[in-house]
A and B are shown apart, each in its own frame.
Chain A
Amino acid sequence: MPALTKEEIRERLQTVNVFITPAYTPFFAAVPERKIRFVVAITLFGDAVSTREVQIVKLEEDLTTYTPKYTKISLAPPEKLQLPIEGKDLENPIITLEGGTRLYGQLTAGVTVSATCEYWDNDV
């Protein structure tokens, strides 16, 4: 079978929005074991009140190890910040999540920050 076509990747693109809080906030449930999840972009929206600091962490499959992926992301009140800064590319993910892993956002100060994560899986 051929590799996935660009059209198939586009068809698989998922978008999820969460409100990141000071607690570890999951973007989605654990990645199913048979899949690899490719995160292609995370967009953070300032809360229009104050500058906030956000971090993005991966919870490894052992469910105890939190691996920081992006830390000390300073987000001005009116700011919309997209990772990667150079612009998203469906075929060049910024984070790769194996089966059993999870992705969290965490706010180091403030109440909530809106965040949108775009990803696709290597299998249906």
Chain B
Amino acid sequence: MNGKGISPIVERLLLPNHLMALEFREGFLFARVLRRRMLHYKPYSLINSAGSVINIAAASAQAEVWLRDPRNPKNDVLYLDATTDQGFPWLLHGAIGWKPHQVFVYPRIPEGADIPGKFPNIDPIKPSAGDFTGYYSGHESPYDEPTDFMEYVIRPLIHIGHELYNQDARAHNPVANILFALYHFQLFKPTLTGVGPHNRIIRDITLRHVPAAFLTVGFTSHPLDLGDTVIKDWDAVPIKLTEAEALEVG
């Protein structure tokens, strides 16, 4: 995968004290990872809301599902049910590897929303028809080595949905390797008028004076909104990159 801009997700995950810029619809947040916890669910056998294994028939579609906890199907594995944890903002960052590779996976971020990864000038993607675009599969993100072909950055209080289509001539139960890092992080707060304690680090991240990961929460053409609840609980001040570049640093 390397050399073509697609990397194993483990090469993209951050370590404690790494810096990041998080893009939301309202603007950018700047932060430092304080804690990282690796999480995986492997093997994860796709189930429905009743907890039954989903066996997708040959050349058939599976309507949108959450990745539910088979031990308690009410729970979405990729859901953060509180805006903060232990006093820190948190989010999930990772990827999912799938098998068999004949099953196409169409993510919806958040659930019910447009499918990301669409060419800008084509009609909406129909997972129910097994469209040959807008999907990823175990070929792009292998089960044993999930890649950033589909990189998930999930903020609290949103659900991620997946539709699937089995292109094979045999029925399959899709099996996933859900590989994520859970970050607890410190948000840097910009001071828009005058000099503030975090202005320099924010400006340095923006101007690439220090290494930092740029992560889009949601998907490129459609970053997710932070929402009033998260903004309030995180005490977040999203700003534009141009505003970040112009911050006074004294």
Residues of A within 8 A of B (CB): 1-2, 4-5, 8, 11-12, 14, 124
Contact = CB atoms under 8 A, between A and B. Distances in A.
The 10 A-B pairs at the shortest CB distance, nearest first, are namely: A124-B167, A124-B102, A11-B100, A8-B101, A14-B169, A11-B101, A1-B139, A1-B140, A2-B1, A8-B139
A44 B112 CA distance: 51
Given A2-B1, A11-B102, A12-B102, A124 B140 contact: no
B149 to A, nearest CB: 9
Interface residues of B, number: 16
Contacts of B114: none
A1 B99 CA distance: 16
A107 to B, nearest CB: 26
A14 B168 CA distance: 10
Interface of B: 1, 4, 6, 99-102, 104, 137-140, 142, 167-169
A11 B167 CA distance: 12
A98 B230 CA distance: 55
B164 to A, nearest CB: 13
Given A1-B6, A11-B102, A124-B168, 18 more contacts: A1-B1, A1-B139, A1-B140, A2-B1, A4-B139, A8-B101, A8-B138, A8-B139, A11-B99, A11-B100, A11-B101, A12-B102, A14-B169, A124-B101, A124-B102, A124-B104, A124-B137, A124-B167
